[in-house]
């Protein structure tokens, strides 16, 4: 017959101490990790805008001009009716949504050059600071 005191295992107190330690670590590390999510979405938006710019440049090489605002970024996937020089699709997949789930805004011509592409940030509206800041094709995110 075995003595119950010789059985191995963790006591309730030991388990509670481990849970408290894990909770304390999560409360210290969690906020730092979640603060990086906003910046990573901004960097992802800038990378997607750069990919769209490259596709627009390939479109312009074939068509002689960028798609109009009315044609939009969809012209990178679907042949416009007005030109036989289209040699697309210029994107391997559908035009992506921005990292916040909103469509990119495209305008051509624009006040910032031949075209502009805008992601309105976390708030989905024009302007803002921090995570709500607009990501635009004519500014370098790294310099801000």
pLDDT value at residue 142 = 46
Instruction: Please give the DSSP secondary-structure letter assigned to residue 131.
Output: G
Could you read off the pLDDT tens digit of each residue along the chain, which spans 144 residues? Answer: 555 555 677 788 888 898 998 888 887 777 766 666 667 888 889 999 999 999 999 999 998 899 999 999 999 999 877 678 888 899 989 999 999 999 999 999 888 889 999 998 888 778 777 777 888 887 765 444
The number of CA neighbours under 13 Å toward the Cβ of 44 is: 15
Q: Hey, what domains does the chain have and what are their CATH numbers?
A: 41-143 (3.30.700.10)
Neighbours of 73 (CB within 10 A): 23
pTM of the complete model:
0.70
Contact 81, 100 (CB under 8 A): no
Give the residue carrying structure tokens 């592409």. Answer: 117
Task: Name the residue among 70, 92, 91 with its Cα closest to residue 80.
Answer: 70
């Amino acid at each position: 017959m075995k003595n119950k005191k010789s059985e191995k295992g963790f006591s309730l107190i030991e388990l509670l101490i481990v849970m408290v330690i894990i909770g304390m670590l999560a409360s210290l590390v969690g906020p730092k990790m979640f603060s990086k999510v906003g910046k990573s979405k901004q960097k992802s938006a800038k990378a997607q805008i750069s990919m769209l710019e490259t596709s627009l440049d390939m479109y312009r090489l074939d068509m002689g001009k960028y798609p109009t605002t009315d044609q939009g970024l969809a012209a990178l996937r679907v042949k416009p009716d007005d030109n036989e020089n289209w040699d697309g699709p210029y994107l391997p997949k559908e035009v992506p949504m921005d990292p916040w789930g909103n469509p990119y805004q495209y305008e051509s011509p624009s006040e910032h050059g031949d075209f502009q592409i805008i992601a309105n940030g976390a708030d989905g509206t024009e302007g803002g600071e921090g995570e709500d800041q607009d990501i635009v094709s004519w500014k370098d995110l790294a310099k801000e």
